Amino acid sequence: MTVFRYLDYRIEPQHQRLVCDYAVDDRPFREEFRFPGDGDWTAAPVAEAARLVFLLAGISYYKTAAPPVIDLGNVALTDAERDFLRSYYLNGLGEFAHILNLNLSGLRIVGPTLDRRVPVGYAARPGRPLVPFGGGVDSITTVDLLASRTDDAALFVVNRPDDRFDAIERPAAVTGLPIVRAERIIDDQILRSRELGFLNGHVPVTGILSAAAVMAAVLDGRDAVVMSNEWSSSIATIDVNGRSINHQYSKSLTFERGLRMMITSSIGNGLEYFSALRPFTELWIASRFAQLDQYLDTFRSCNRAFHIDKTVRLAQWCGVCDKCCFIDLILAPFLSRARCTQIFHGREPLEHPDAQSSKGQTNGERFRTLVGLSSGTKPWECVGDVTECQAAVLLAATHNDRTANPTLGTLAGELRSRGIEPEVDALLRPIGTHFIPERYAVDDLLV
């Protein structure tokens, strides 16, 4: 029987790195994280953060074969930690399993058990948040929200050695904030998955990067890791046989709650992990972001800007993907047509509904899917809820410079003919549960 094994992890202070070793049966894998800086690598909280990275990063190697058993080796977990890890694998790989028609429900995690874990304790000066930064609408909005609460924030950016993404670096420079960096070196075998016959598909990368951010925060004496995951990231992409599958699982409230438990039980209460955008919809975030004119010419959320292969990495929005269509749609109620044309360098999806991707789908078809008017399911992408998209259409269609837009006119007409008119005011107010601590709450926004 094939088994995925957690072999070992080690901290190497002299090289400022964490090395994680795994195996599927006898095939070894190694992942490395480098954290340049002046942190105390001998501190107990650093060791606990390293264990967390080791646990969450393993998922990239497990999915090469998706065996029925995970062997933790010498890593002892409490029952609560084991439950969280199993949920992370099952839900984080929900999309992967669904698309490949795999049943992972029988997954067993074996290894030593702890009755309870005693946190090692960690303290940092309040008001020193670390913000994982991707250069898009959400993380930029988080930086804007924190500006009124602290003057000692820093960005957290992860990249491969000697490779930085312009789509991150340009808006990061606009923030004026210092950058805490880390380098992630994935085992080369993963990059050759197809050649080596591995199973391949989506992994919950935000979970891995969150754990890396926790370790970076501890090394840099930060009091919080502040994510930029909004309300709708908790909503399932698809429901299959009574089970919800969420492309954004590691951005969800469920994951956030679980990782907070892992941090509190091992490191202590001195480090917060929360999303500053959790109470807000994508519509509210877009309305706030649209006021930040200094970022409009540098931000980019198109995935083509983040290809590992530099030869196919784009220096502008592609204009023909689900992310481009969604970002255009959600900003359209709050920006002029001319400004959106500038942002997309003349390739604004709403103005080019017949433009096709290499897979043959048109932008018009993408918009119909985003607003729930097609037979297709919500894209396997980090896009908003159908209700948010419907509200964006109805708002944008009323703009004087958009009344002649055939895409918006057709979509708005169909929505109204079906009696679909979301309560826009409700989507522009805080909604749902959040874990934002008082010291980081922007009080006038959460009432």
- Could you tell me the pTM of the whole model? 0.96
Report angle CA 223, 229, 233 to the nearest 5 degrees: 150
Residue 440 phi/psi, 5° resolution?
-115, 5
Q: Rounded distance, CA 236 to CA 255, Å? A: 13
pLDDT of amino acid 442 = 79
Contacts of 360 (CB under 8 A, 6+ apart): none
Q: What are the boundaries of each domain within the chain? A: 3-275, 282-427
Residue 44 phi/psi, 5° resolution?
-60, -40
In 3D space, the residue among 84, 177, 186 whose CA is nearest the CA of residue 130 turns out to be 177
Cα–Cα distance list, 357 to 99, 205, 247 (Å)? 21, 25, 21
The DSSP-derived string for 356-415 is B-TTS-BHHHHHHHHTT-SSSPPPSSS---HHHHHHHHHHHTTSTTTTT-HHHHHHHHHH
Q: Print pLDDT tens along the chain (447 aa).
A: 699 999 999 999 999 999 999 999 999 999 999 999 889 999 999 999 999 999 999 999 999 999 999 999 999 999 999 999 999 999 999 999 999 999 999 999 999 999 999 999 999 999 999 999 999 999 999 999 999 899 999 999 999 998 999 999 999 999 999 999 999 999 999 999 999 999 999 999 999 999 999 999 999 999 999 999 999 999 999 988 888 999 999 999 999 999 999 999 999 999 999 999 999 999 999 999 999 999 999 999 998 888 888 888 888 999 999 999 999 999 999 999 999 999 999 899 999 988 877 677 899 999 999 999 987 778 889 999 999 999 999 999 999 899 889 999 999 999 999 999 899 999 999 998 999 999 998 766 765
Are the beta carbons of 314 and 303 closer than 8 angstroms? no
Show the tokens assigned to 192. 């050759």
pLDDT of amino acid 220 = 97
Question: Which fold would CATH assign to domain 3-275?
Answer: Rossmann fold (3.40.50)
Q: Where does residue 315 rank: exposed (0-12), middle (13-18), buried (19+ CB within 10 A)?
A: exposed
What is the DSSP pairing of strand 69-71 with strand 3-12? parallel
pLDDT of amino acid 446 = 65
Contacts of 293 (CB under 8 A, 6+ apart): none
pLDDT of amino acid 242 = 83
SS3 at position 256: helix
CA end-to-end distance (rounded Å), the chain:
55
SS3 at position 324: helix
R_g of the chain, CA atoms, integer Å: 22
